[in-house]
Amino acid sequence: MSRLFIFGLGYAASAIADESGWPLLATTRDGRAGTIRFDDDAAVRAGLAASTHVLSSVPPDGDDDPVLARYADALDGRWLGYLSSTGVYGDAGGAWVDESAPIRGRRANRNAADAAWLALGARVFRLPGIYGPGRSPLDRVASGKAHRTGLADQVFSRVHVADIASGVVAGFTAPAGAYNLSDDLPCSQDRVIERAAAMLGLPLPPIVPLDTLSPAARAFYAENRRVANGKAKRVLGWQPHYPDYRLGLRAVSAMTSPTAASAAPPAASGDQR
């Protein structure tokens, strides 16, 4: 029987577990009910021995990948998957990048972890900005935490959490390698925030000068790229349920309120917001 072991049962990994429908073992930092503490060496190794598929969503910690540093010797002979980031591509000046693009992201530890999992024969799923129920621009706008930057030419990709789940599960029978899981409509963050505000009937969030943001936020906005997902479509047979943020936000809204979807303004042909 197929059994899935997940290192780091967070937001995206939980959606993947639900999508698979398989028996699950998973780690968390605190070993909350139904999970294993990451540092419980004996329990983790026993769980790995009983599993056919292993997925890690644990990010690098300092210079090391915590999973590989502690449990690499227990991963042989299993399907391996790793949730990485499209940040490994670095700034592309707004150009399209696919899995053949050079790895030159600003976070050396993330780049190294991505390469290390590939070297082990894993399916490495490179993810852009993740959104979905409870974690979306709609939530940020509604809470008053959203802002705009005024950077119309700063473009990036995003992906609905349900499309991550379907893409990873499609990868259970796919060859090892890197796969970008992203939507089909890269655009500026401001356009997405404006759309969310319109759906909620709220005023546009303010434009915030970049020099007032955190160093991490400034570094994010300094990068500019469009992420191509053609390989995932060809090799995995995957198609995003939400190929653009407008459809994705409608789905999030509908899950939040039965009337929210009908209240959202229709997307006109050619509307990119």
pLDDT of residue 257: 54
How far is residue 249 from each of residues 136, 141, 194, 200, measured CA to CA in Å? 8, 12, 12, 11
In this structure, are residues 107 and 61 in contact, taking their beta carbons and an 8 Å threshold?
no
Q: What is the pLDDT of residue 267?
A: 30
Is the domain 4-263 a CATH 3.30.420.40 member? no
- The CA distance from 50 to 45, in Å, is 9
Cβ neighbour number for residue 182 with a 10 Å cutoff:
26
Q: Amino acid identity of 6?
A: I
The span from the CA of 63 to the CA of 108, in Å, is 8
Token pair of 43 as six digits: 């329990």
**123-127/129-131 β-pairing:** unpaired
Q: How many of the other CB atoms lie within 10 Å of CB of 90?
A: 19
Question: What are the pLDDT tens digits along the chain (273 aa)?
Answer: 899 999 999 999 999 999 999 999 999 999 988 999 999 999 999 999 999 999 999 999 999 999 999 999 999 999 999 999 999 999 999 999 999 999 999 999 999 999 999 999 999 999 999 999 999 999 999 999 999 999 988 999 999 999 999 999 999 999 999 999 999 999 999 999 999 999 999 999 999 999 999 998 898 888 999 999 999 999 999 999 999 999 999 999 998 753 333 333 323 222 222
Contacts of 216 (CB under 8 A, 6+ apart): none
Using DSSP's 3-state secondary structure scheme, residue 250 falls into helix
What is the rounded CA–CA span in Å between residue 17 and residue 66?
21
